[in-house]
Structure 1
Amino acid sequence: MSVTATATASRRRRRTGSVAGAVLLTLALAGCSGLGRTAVGPVTYTTERDQVVSTNSPSVKGCHRMAEAGAQEVVNGTLIDMILYTTPDCTGGGTIYVPTTVTDVKAPPSSPWLSYRFVH
């Protein structure tokens, strides 16, 4: 009888410990999830003046402006998909969706890409 009571108490302690650990892990992940998240990897683009610009692991939040000359080719080397805009503030139509690890080259008569944001 004492073996059964000891085994039950031991299982109860393990269960309580598992629940407490799960709660602490959830709180830790929730507290850190919005802090400094980056799109791991580089965003590299070539401007209209053939200058190569690369930004490594930019923030996933907000709108990112490109060089004033704009981009004619964009390489999304990050782990997150992105959207390119022909405006400097990530608004308006004429956008293009660029999945992770894909390159986009704009069509010759179209406007250069001036900004981008990540899809998250």
Structure 2
Amino acid sequence: MSVRRRLTTATGAVLLTFAVAGCSGLGRSAVGTLTYETGNGAKVMVTSPSVKGCHRLAPAGATDVDNETLVDIILYQARDCRGKESTYLPSNSGNSITPGGQPWRSYSVVH
């Protein structure tokens, strides 16, 4: 193997290492889509939501949710991801509120 080829290979390896290190600080996301229907009948699609923090749903809340991400989520009736009234929604599944039930108003990602 020539010196030039070794130098090129080493340079490529160093650049790849820097590229991976530079991307590792970016926010992680739940790959896929979260689709929900609001209490007003509007359809909302969220693509690759962050895995960090509490996420508020539309002001009218959600009555039907489809989790087509690669991670599980927890739905809450409160706007701050708190309270006993929550629903665990696994990846690639959906859930609807019961007739007369309160809509979901926020969600968090299980990671």
TM-score, reference length from structure 2 = 0.78
| Higher helix proportion (structure 1 or 2) | 1
Unaligned runs of 5+ in 2: 1-18
2:78 partner amino acid: T
* 1:91 partnered with 2:82: yes
Displacement of 1:98 in angstroms is 0.2
TM-score, reference length from structure 1 = 0.72
> 1:102 maps to which residue?
93
2:70 partner amino acid: L
Give the whole-Å Cα distance in 2 for the aligned partners of 1:34 and 1:96: 31
1:83 partner amino acid: I
* 1:112 partnered with 2:92: no
* Number of residue-to-residue matches in the alignment: 96
> 1:61 maps to which residue?
52
Give the whole-Å Cα distance in 2 for the aligned partners of 1:96 and 1:86: 9
Displacement of 1:35 in angstroms is 2.5
Deviations 1:66-112 (A, max 9, x none): 00000000000100000000000100111000000100111112110
1:85 partner amino acid: Y
Runs of 4+ in 1 over 3 A off after TM superposition: 28-34
1:70 to 41, 44, 61: 61
| Change beyond 3 A, Cα 1:33–1:93 | farther
* 1:79 partnered with 2:70: yes
Displacement of 1:36 in angstroms is 1.2
1:44 partner amino acid: T
Unaligned runs of 5+ in 1: 1-27
Look at both structures and tell me which one has the larger radius of gyration over its CA atoms: 1
